[in-house]
Amino acid sequence: MAQHIARKRFGQHFLSDGGIIDSIVREIAPQPGDAMVEIGPGLAALTQPLVERLGRLTVIELDRDLAKRLREHPQLDVIESDVLKVDFAELAAKFPAGKPLRVVGNLPYNISTPILFHLLGCPIWSPTSISCCRRK
């Protein structure tokens, strides 16, 4: 598969340090059956260890080239969209009732505040969601 070149307009910087990835996944502590959504999975650095623990994962990816790659993974449900246009209440309804929606991601600094405000407007997400915001 061709190498993906990070697109500055999307604020793309991809995780590659295995130690950092392991630390983030440990903090997320995914369990099979969790209702979890990853924002901006990119090259799947967090995605792969998450889906290994969850069995199935929903991801939201804006970049059409990355979304295409992600669709090749049989355990991923890929939503190709701007996260600010995603109806998280509708998305949560696709998971078993009673499971709070956990939202995770390694977010670009410039979009982290709008994403958090978008999520605050949705009462079904879990306050234990973890979003890592990269420094400028």
Per-residue pLDDT of 41-100, as tens digits, reads 988 889 999 999 999 999 999 989 899 999 999 999 999 999 999 999 899 889 887 788
- Supply the CATH classification number for the domain 15-133: 3.40.50.150
Q: Is the pLDDT of residue 109 over 90?
A: no
Q: Is the pLDDT of residue 6 over 60?
A: no
Average pLDDT (6-23) is 67
Q: Which positions ≥6 away from 62 have C-beta within 8 Å?
A: 10, 40, 80, 81, 82, 83
- Whole-model pTM: value is 0.83
Q: Is the pLDDT of residue 32 over 90?
A: yes
> Can you give the residue ranges of every domain in the chain?
15-133
